[in-house]
Chains A and B, each alone.
Chain A
């Protein structure tokens, strides 16, 4: 039963992981963010699903 649970949740974990990585890459490339960059690193890593989303929506400064 538990292996079934892992099989079902594994894709979700992988997707979340990709999301975090992408957000971090973007954070490194972007010149300026709203607020200090180290704070965004914390938000992205600790913010679970919402962290990267919030970063992509309000973090980047054009």
Chain B
């Protein structure tokens, strides 16, 4: 009841500042940009010219799986950045402006407050991801060849879990600092650190959430889901829950102060 009220308020706010429109559009544009450029690269070079007479270049046309991974990689970079940016002020800006004290002076539980905000932004990012990957899939179907729809849905689901972890991390830092820039900076550093550590010790940390997009790639190339995928997904979910729990406790401690 109380949870739904905050949730609806968040959805309305995201709708009013057009997040529901611009985030999906930007995700879609970035998802289709790379496969399209790869497809048209020979022709772009031809038009731009500058090649010596008689020069022939053979570009290997990317395979379907490669093209699809281009979209995923692009979303894994730009998409993550945008996700951090749109969620960096969720709690911290309310802490700063004092809206937070206004809300919590009413009998609103901290758990409801955090989870409702988290769910609303997760819903937004999931819809954006799903839309962008479906559009990319449509384009790749036309340009490169077919890839199965269930494969797309399952890998999107994996990717959403990865983004859920990112949102969890951002929510955690949101309760620590009042400055949005600080939240964004530390979230990016944390995510880069996770990815760096994972790629250095990738043979040991096979369950690391940083490998989720690699496992999606494997799934596209081989058509089979590796067992480790499930472990890294589980770890991502557990870490998200831990992040949210710490966030809730931090807020409680803030109230006592």
A interface residue numbers (CB < 8 A to B): 5, 8, 11-12, 15-16, 18-19, 22-23, 25-26, 49, 52-53, 56-57, 60, 62
Is there contact, CB below 8 Å, between A57 and B93? no
Is there contact, CB below 8 Å, between B142 and A56? no
Is there contact, CB below 8 Å, between B29 and A16? yes
B79-129 interface (Cβ within 8 A of A): 82, 85, 89, 93, 97
**23 A/B residue pairs, CB under 8 Å, sorted by A:** A8-B142, A12-B29, A12-B32, A15-B28, A19-B26, A19-B29, A22-B18, A22-B21, A23-B22, A25-B18, A26-B17, A49-B26, A49-B29, A52-B22, A53-B82, A56-B18, A56-B22, A57-B82, A57-B85, A60-B17, A62-B89, A62-B93, A62-B97
CA A25 to CA B18, docked complex, whole Å: 10
Is there contact, CB below 8 Å, between A19 and B22? yes
Main secondary structure of the interface of B (DSSP, over half): helix
Task: Count residues of chain B with CB under 8 A from any CB of chain A.
Answer: 20
**B188 interfacial contact with A, CB 8 Å:** no
User: Which of chain B's residues has its CB closest to A21's CB?
Assistant: B21
CA A39 to CA B197, docked complex, whole Å: 42
**B230 interfacial contact with A, CB 8 Å:** no
**B38 interfacial contact with A, CB 8 Å:** no
Specify which chain B residues have a CB less than 8 angstroms from the CB of A5 in the assembled complex.
40
In the A-B complex, list the 4 residue pairs whose CB atoms are closest, starting with the nearest. A57-B85, A19-B25, A15-B25, A22-B18
CA A56 to CA B43, docked complex, whole Å: 34
B5-55 interface (Cβ within 8 A of A): 17-18, 21-22, 25-26, 28-29, 32, 36, 40
